[in-house]
Chains A and B, each alone.
Chain A
Amino acid sequence: MTVWTRSTRHQKAPVRSAEASDQKPIPFALVERNGRGLCLRAVNGAAQKLGLWRGQSQADARAMAPDLVTVPADPAAEALALQRLALWAERFSPCVALMADGPGVEGLALDMTGGTHLFGGETAFIAAFEARLAKAGILARVAMADSLGAAWALARFGGLTQIAPVGGAREALADLPVEALRLDPEAVTLLKRFGLQRIGDLYPLPRAGLARRFRGPRAGAMGLKVVERLDQALGFRAEPVVPVRPPPAYRSFQVFAEPITETAGVALYLPDLAKALAEQLQRDGQGARRLTLTGYRVDGATTSIEAGLSAASAQPSHLLRLLKEKGLEALDLGFGIDALMLSAPVAEASVAQQEGLDGERSATEVAALASLIDRLQAKLGEDAVQTPRPRGSWLPERSEGWDAASNLGFGAFDPVLRPRPILLFHPPERVEAIAELPDSAPARFTWRRVARRVVRAEGPERIAPEWWRLSPASPRPPRTRDYYRIEDETGRRYWLFREGLYGREDQDRTPEWWLHGVFA
């Protein structure tokens, strides 16, 4: 009894680099060093024909094929390339998952449920998809079936069969080898020892027997795996697909007949995209908090720009302005893009604000401020626009924190009880000071190579060190600070502090004078 309809349709694209598409087949392999020395990590078709296989040692392979070309493998770059391809594949489906089962068998899974008619049907879609990948230099096999497992099997072992008809996975898979079930090598060996070569051989076997037969100290899990994998392939057991990034709830899409190679072209289509996105958002009473504009390039890569919003907005003009502020020039169009997506990865409910009854203009003002902060942040960077917030510390540099001014709250500072400077130097600047007594205010000091005579001074305001916040960078404990408000003979007022107490802290270090700020 099948409860699965054609709800999940997948295709796979094993990624192998462009070398495979050479005119004259040269045996080629990527090699990596493992416990057994240099081994083949991936081989191309020509090498496979010569009987080389993945995991073979390089010395053996060389003996079998003297003209084998090998290159050291770069697993990180491979993973990155697959990730990039997955992002690009989002132009066909919002849900794309990586299938990094191992070297040489990487693939992508696309959930194409209800989506193939947009590309002219299943056969046309597969042909177009393969052609696009081939154009980008990627040799891939694409298959489609009801379940992830069946599509995986067809993509790799299916031969000419690329599409399993609805409910036809059982027949389509019957003749494929048992390797197509994504089993451990040991399980495959064991199955073959029993004479079970094809997936179809497993169908008539009693399930309980199949599970029991593979039980054993090590084969226990494996035996379960065989039944589990079979059920996944036939669609009896659910298999979650984890997309490479969550599908955006709101997106608008535009496909072009001819690739666009200039920013002006993007700017031309942007208003329509913004309008379409804003309509979706408004329909649900939502506003975007984050915007992504993604261009899908013809060479299998993507390019994108992002902008953040400090308050949820669904105004097409505001969204448009933000993206322009961010700079469409940042899009790397390469040889052209053939699709453009504007999405709101983060959206939240936007509440309509009341326009005041008594002359208060708060709602419009809040909206104006939010849009101003958005524009400044889009152009200047997220951390360029800040607002101060009080923090619980007496150390001046720690007593206020600077947060990105995005959530539109302003920290309320208590009225100052002590004089505080209008400009603060962070870090403090070293000064040379002379005091009449070790513990008194300075009589003269030199700051920025100008000597100043102190006329009046007030202090000290003693601020004890925060010993509980030892920094690992400096091995010495922090020292007490004595702050003085000082006026020099020209009427300028400074905030100086002496770090350290004479004879009481750090016997080997004399106290030092620093200038921390200037008063009006």
Chain B
Amino acid sequence: MSDLPSFPEGFPLPERGLEEVAAAEPQDLAAALAFALLRVSPEPEKGLRRPGLFVAAKAWLRERGRPFAQGWQMPTPSGCGLIVVAVADERQVIWALEEALKSGAVGGAVAALSAPDFVATRRLAFAAKAGGAAAAILRTTGAEGLSAAWRRWRIGSLASAPQAFDVRAPGPARLRAELTRRRDGLPGVWELEWDDDRRIWRDAKSGPAAAQQARGLRLAAGLARDGLDPFDPASEGSRQVG
């Protein structure tokens, strides 16, 4: 199996520049953050390993939780070190993000902002271009207003894929990524699924979990035909013995 992420067809690959990731609803923020991390992790170039940066206001961190590094084993920006900057207000968030992008010292940066104005986003877009970095503005609420971001996303949580060994447990995380606005093509909607083995996001419709789900359904159908309960270990065991 190749190590390249198997993104769905037409899904724009992460690249340098400024994008905007908004949570469809405030509760979808965790999914939006995970997606923003994916967007600011362009494929690592040879010998170029720069750390990632996360900037948020202190009030944001208190209200919505602080980054938990062990949970960021999903693509951290550039996969190499993480710097978290906690600042007093949104003006400083923009300043810190712009400084970091301009310096060229970070590979990817995510900043939690509620409503940056057009001028600010334009400055950030230029800074990202100058520093060769990928940046994402993480917004709690929908993406209204003008923005200089190259792409704008709306992220919603989806029920997780089935867990292979325990039907009652949540499986690999899934999310729905809606590209509401882009400058280089048509908008679209994709569903992504977290692959825990390869530590990448992949197409939810063609991943092994989907295949397994289909297989599980087939199995369940077959068992139902045989008059057995698919979720009862005893009956499954008896079937195997029989």
Contacts and interface: CB of A to CB of B under 8 A. Distances in A.
Nearest to B175: A520
Interface residues of A, number: 55
Contacts, number: 171
Interface in B58-82: 64-74, 80-82
Nearest to B170: A487
Nearest to A419: B71
A384 B86 CA distance: 5
Interface string A382-426: 001111101000001001101001000011010110011111111
Nearest to B37: A422
Given A492-B157, A519-B30, A400 B69 contact: yes
Contacts of B85: 376, 380, 384-386
Given A456-B168, A520-B173, A410 B70 contact: no
B84 interface: yes
A456 B161 CA distance: 11
Given A372-B103, A380-B87, A456 B70 contact: no
A493 B83 contact: no
A456 B170 CA distance: 6
Contact of B100 (A376, A423, A518): A376
A517 B170 contact: no
B34 A399 contact: no
Interface residues of B, number: 56
B158 interface: yes
A400 B67 CA distance: 11
A388 B65 contact: no
Contacts of A362: 47
B31 A396 contact: no
B99 interface: yes
B166 interface: yes
B106 interface: yes
Interface string A128-142: 000000000000000
A128 to B, nearest CB: 45
B157 to A, nearest CB: 4
13 contacts: A359-B47, A379-B92, A380-B88, A419-B71, A422-B67, A422-B72, A425-B65, A425-B66, A426-B65, A485-B170, A490-B27, A519-B170, A520-B33
Interface of A: 356, 358-362, 365, 368-369, 371-373, 375-376, 379-380, 384-388, 390, 396, 399-400, 402, 405, 410-411, 413, 415-416, 419-426, 455-458, 485-487, 490-493, 517-520
Given A365-B48, A518-B65, 14 more contacts: A384-B87, A410-B80, A419-B71, A422-B30, A422-B33, A422-B71, A424-B66, A456-B168, A457-B169, A487-B159, A493-B173, A518-B30, A519-B173, A520-B33
